Amino acid sequence: MSLKESPESEKRIGIWYYSTKTEGIGGFIKTRPSDFVVREVTAREERDEREKRDEREKREKREKREEGKYLILELTKENWDTYGVVREISRRLRVSKNRIGFAGTKDKFAVTTQRISIWGEGIGEREVERVKIKGVSLRKLGRSKKAVHLGDLRGNEFEILVRGVEGGGGEGGGEGEGGGESEIKRKIEATTAEIEAAGGVPNFFGVQRFGLNRPLTHLIGKRLTRGEIKEAVLCYISDIFPDETEDAKQARRLCRLEEKGGEGGLEGLKAGLKKMPAFLRHEKAMLNELVRGGKESLNEADFRSAFSVFPKNLQKLFVHAYQAYLFNLVLSRRKRQGLPFNEALVGDFVCFRSELERAERVTEEKVEAVNRLVKRGRAFVTAPLFGYETEFAGGEAGEIERAVLEEEGCELSDFFIHKFPEMSSKGTRRAVLVPVKVRLCSDGISEDELNPGRKKVRLNFFLPKGSYATVVLREYLKS
């Protein structure tokens, strides 16, 4: 089977192939934050007090007593990551960021809308109205007895503008405007048809999971599972990537002197700290921890202390990223070996929509019945996010899982991290396929005002939580 290979940047995060064989439209995304619009879809139903103001005024006292201590807000942000904006809102309201709940993190370079909750009867509409942050708006929806949390999230609706699309209709580019648009539309329709025939696209973890400018979170996670704390810290501080600023690259080069100096090489770290740009907060905090106190040499305890400057929720993300990388490798191998994604094989583990936490191994006796449920969308094939309690699949799927770990030199027991037990992971399973229906918007193809002579294309689709828009878009762009 002939497969279209991914670019090297994607292969580095475990994505080896495209799932479609069609020709891409090219172009690029996120020229402006407003080109990438994300609207959170939740199962919550808050009272919209703006629309029901009369009722609110009549029943205000009872609502305060019965609706609970959580203020529910609609947060719309542009060019802010979720953790950063939550930290800023907490600072402006003078409350702990731990009192603010949200269902999922959203892209930074985008316009995103989601719900958040703030615990505390002392926080009301007046306090929120006084919060003025550039690129951020907050709208009160109501109050609730429950905080907003991950379980509320169903998924996200995306409206994406692809810019810089060539509008020509062939090698000579002889078609006029209408011909160019029809050729773009033809390519989009061909890719959509192939995706629909396959039931969706492979549920890869996108590049955001590994770091956009420095895709290394999985490399750090790999070192942590091996107990290599020093190597993990130095990887974060000193590994250089092309898209960084020159100041950052120079600071990281200086930090590399520590590696040459062995356990006692502190001069490079001190020089790197002086040069490290202020916006690299975590690097500076780690370096400060390493060089403080006039030490003459460094030991493992120093590197453990340096790593601990990360907030607990970020520490866990490194191991999760390594699990994501291994998952991508499993899906890439499944694709290469021609195993189906929308059909269960004997030995596969499937989960059921009604019981997402329960995985069942497919036997010869049950395979036909299971696949009837798969075709109806009531069950789905899974692959492992490896952990110390992971049970391997049987058959060809199990052979793939074992081969991925063997090539990585990884064992399931590695995911019990003795030096940082709180980062340990039992493992879980994730769908190998994400269903998606991509729609070309009514104003879908038009002139790109930022790139004269080229087109812009507007696409709309919904994805369940945990899936990545870039994984869908790559099939259309092929660039």
Q: How many CB atoms lie within 10 A of CB 328?
A: 27
Strand locations in 151-239, DSSP E? 153-166, 201-202
Rounded-to-integer distance, Cα 148 and Cα 73, Å:
10
**Residues in CB range of 287: below 8 A, 6 or more apart:** 237, 255, 269, 272, 273, 276, 306
Q: Are 116 and 80 in contact (CB under 8 A)?
A: no
Catalytic residue of the set 35, 48, 81, 107: 107
Cα 12 off chain centre by? 16
Residues 6+ apart with CB under 8 A from 71: 117, 118, 120, 123, 124, 128, 140, 143
Single out the residue of 278, 245, 273, 243 nearest to residue 258, CA to CA: 273
For 15, which DSSP code?
-
Distance CA 28, CA 12 (A): 20
Does residue 107 carry a catalytic annotation?
Answer: yes
Q: How many DSSP H helices and E strands does the chain contain?
A: 17, 14
DSSP line for 100-167: EEES----SSSEEEEEEEEE-TT--HHHHHT--BTTEEEEEEEEESS---GGGEEEEEEEEEEEEEE-
Distance, CA of 13 to CA of 323 (rounded, Å): 11
- Determine the Cα–Cα distance for residues 355 and 360; give it in Å rounded to an integer: 10
First to last CA, the chain: 22
Residues known to be catalytic:
107
